[in-house]
């Protein structure tokens, strides 16, 4: 069993000064007692209770090359010794921008910011400045950041399907009055939204793979259909690649699906654990910045430490065969889970890719949207995850797994028997 005594003490102490005891609401859902980490190395976490955990959560995505990577460390240390930040231009941001243009298909210009939430807002402002329109479309079950205008219909109830609803208190309806919500993987529904709002929609934004809502894959023709519909209607198509960027392929979903949306957002895996984000896409849209139709701001935009980390991370991810290895590792886990589940009489399916996937208990076919994901047996999924944690295997709530470059056969040889034991414990 996992030891939690010291984590419990620290959590109790934190609750006396840190509101809710954690720094983001998501972390309170991970374990019954929030776990406090002491250190990390490669694909391993070490907590204050002495537990060693194989990390398949990757800090909710950023740790694509693992912790304590020597090349990433060296790049950051070298930059720290030269300067923390400048509030001015530097060579690194030019190098990073050029690197992104060379790596990501059809990206002609980029801008930098500091988080996925910021990048999404920057992309929406660009789209509005470019089109002169105000409304935008987001999809049910897609998490595109925590600001009031877009934190809507992320986890709707069945009664709320088809409406735009706030995800938490403190979100005035006026702040999302220009946000239109649509079911995902349904082109007819998207066409209807355009018909109901003629000439008013600036952008359509969505994850190209719905990782935040169950790793649902796009239906055949859906993503190209979305892009084409936006072009027909004069709206900007935006891939929210905060998760999929640099994770499913070096060029993200643009490379993986061979598609060309107008804009894409990037964060998480971009700098291997350091805070940076970006928007990339067509030069024509970024001309709205150059001619003053809109603007982009941020004290820490392009800060040299994060830029150095991003350059080092992209260089590591450029090594031949690295994505094949990461995907192969993840698909081996998915195959083992499905095979052992069948042997144990459990109904489930895994969805996504090799580097980002979900395990859905109680479903026998791949979910197409959050509406399908909500039918999964979360209680059994939680029991399986708890059993895996007792074996020292750490992944995220909802059955989400991330695989990174630090995961090797050594870790796989520990994971596979843990899957069998944990699945058998559900009987």
Residues paired with 402 in a beta bridge? 356
Provide the H-helix boundaries in 266-321: 283-290, 304-317
What whole-number percentage of the chain has pLDDT above 70?
100
| Residue 143 annotated among the catalytic residues of the structure | yes
- Cα distance between residue 68 and residue 63, in whole Å: 10
211 is written with which tokens? 């990782």
Which region holds residue 42: left if phi is over 0, alpha if psi is between -120 and 50, else beta?
left
pLDDT in tens, 72-118: 999 999 999 999 999 999 999 999 999 999 999 999 999 999 999 99
30 band by pLDDT with thresholds 50, 70 and 90: confident
Which band of pLDDT confidence, cut at 50, 70 and 90, is reported for residue 158?
Answer: confident
Per-residue confidence (pLDDT) for residue 390, from 0 to 100: 96
Please count the residues of the chain: 427
Q: Could you tell me the sign of the dihedral formed by the alpha carbons of 186, 187, 193, 196, in that order? A: negative
Q: How far is Cα 266 from Cα 242, in angstroms, rounded to an integer? A: 4
125-137 confidence digits (pLDDT tens): 999 999 999 999 9
Tens of pLDDT, residues 399-421: 999 999 999 999 999 999 999 99
Q: What is the pLDDT of residues 260-318, one digit of tens each?
A: 999 999 999 999 999 999 999 999 999 999 999 999 999 999 999 999 999 999 999 99
Q: In the predicted model, is pLDDT for residue 28 greater than 80?
A: no
**Which residues are registered as beta bridge partners of 277?**
113
Catalytic site residue from 268, 323, 372, 394:
268
Strands (E) in 235-276, as ranges, are 236-241, 263-266
Q: Are 364 and 347 in contact (CB under 8 A)?
A: yes
Q: Determine whether 47 is an active site residue.
A: no
- Contact in structure between 355 and 402 (CB atoms under 8 Å): yes
Q: What is the pLDDT of residue 193?
A: 98
Q: What is the band of 156 on the pLDDT scale with cuts at 50, 70, 90?
A: confident
Question: Do residues 43 and 66 make contact, with C-beta atoms less than 8 angstroms apart?
Answer: yes
Task: Read off the pTM.
Answer: 0.96
Active site residue 410: no
Q: HEC string of 108-150?
A: CEEEEECCHHHHHHHHHHHHHHHHCCCEEEEECCCCCCCCCCC
Cα–Cα distance, 169 to 245 (Å, whole number): 30
Using the structure block, give the residue that is written with the tokens 């355009």: 194
C-alpha 195, offset from chain centre: 31
Dist CA 168 CA 151 (whole Å): 8
Give 223's pLDDT tier (boundaries 50, 70, 90).
very high
Torsion (CA) 324, 326, 330, 335 in degrees, nearest 10 = 30
Q: Do 373 and 156 meet the contact criterion of CB atoms below 8 Å apart?
A: no
Asked whether 184 and 370 are in contact (CB, 8 A), the reply is: yes
- List 240, 256, 323, 372, catalytic entry: 240
Fold of 70-317: 3.40.640
pLDDT band at 24 (very low <50, low <70, confident <90, very high): confident
pLDDT at 154: 87
Per annotation, catalytic residue among 143, 176, 256, 266: 143
- CB count, 10 Å around CB of 46? 14
CATH 3.40.640.10 domain locations along the chain: 70-317
H or E stretch covering 92: helix 91-103
- The mean pLDDT of 44-68, rounded to a whole number, is 97
Tell me the pLDDT of the chain averaged across its residues: 96
How far apart CA 59 and CA 168 sit, in angstroms, is 23
Evaluate whether the domain defined by 5-68+321-424 bears CATH number 3.90.1150.10: yes
Tell me where in the chain the CATH 3.90.1150.10 domain(s) lie: 5-68+321-424
């Amino acid at each position: 069993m996992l030891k939690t005594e010291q984590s419990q003490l620290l959590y109790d102490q934190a609750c006396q000064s840190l509101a809710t005891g954690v720094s983001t609401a998501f972390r309170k859902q991970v374990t019954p007692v929030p776990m406090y980490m002491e250190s990390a190395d490669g694909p391993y976490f070490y907590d204050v209770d002495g537990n060693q955990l194989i990390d398949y959560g990757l800090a909710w995505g950023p740790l694509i090359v693992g912790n304590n990577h020597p090349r990433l460390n060296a790049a950051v240390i070298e930059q720290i010794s030269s300067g923390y930040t400048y509030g001015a231009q530097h060579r690194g941001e030019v190098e990073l921008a050029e690197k992104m243009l060379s790596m990501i298909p059809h990206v002609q210009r980029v801008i930098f910011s500091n988080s996925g939430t910021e990048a999404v807002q920057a992309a929406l402002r660009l789209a509005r400045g470019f089109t002169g329109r105000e409304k935008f479309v987001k999809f049910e079950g897609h998490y595109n950041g925590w600001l009031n205008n877009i934190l809507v219909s992320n986890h709707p109830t069945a009664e709320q399907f088809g409406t735009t609803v706030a995800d938490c208190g403190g979100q005035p309806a006026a702040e999302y009055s220009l946000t239109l919500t649509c079911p995902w993987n349904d082109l007819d529904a998207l066409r209807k939204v355009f018909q109901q709002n003629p000439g008013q929609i600036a952008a359509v934004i969505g994850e190209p793979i719905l990782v935040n809502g169950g790793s649902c894959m796009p239906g055949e023709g859906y993503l190209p259909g979305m892009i084409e519909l936006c072009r027909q209607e004069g709206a900007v198509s935006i891939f929210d690649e905060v998760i999929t960027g640099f994770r499913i392929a070096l060029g993200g979903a643009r490379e993986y699906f061979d598609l060309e949306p107008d804009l894409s957002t990037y964060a998480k895996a971009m700098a291997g654990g350091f805070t940076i984000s970006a928007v990339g896409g067509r030069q024509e849209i970024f001309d709205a910045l150059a001619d003053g139709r809109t603007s982009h701001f941020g004290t820490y935009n392009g800060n040299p430490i994060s830029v150095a980390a991003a350059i080092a991370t992209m260089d590591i991810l450029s090594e031949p065969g690295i994505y094949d290895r990461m995907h192969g590792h993840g698909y081996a886990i998915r195959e083992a889970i499905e095979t052992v589940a069948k042997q144990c009489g459990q109904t489930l399916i895994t969805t996504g890719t090799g580097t980002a996937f979900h395990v859905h208990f109680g479903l026998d076919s791949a979910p197409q949207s959050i509406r399908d994901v909500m039918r999964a047996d979360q209680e059994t999924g939680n029991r399986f995850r708890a059993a895996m944690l007792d074996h020292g295997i750490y992944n995220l709530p909802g059955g989400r797994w991330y695989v990174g470059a630090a995961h090797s056969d050594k870790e796989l040889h520990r994971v596979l028997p843990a899957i069998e034991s944990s699945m058998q414990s559900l009987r």
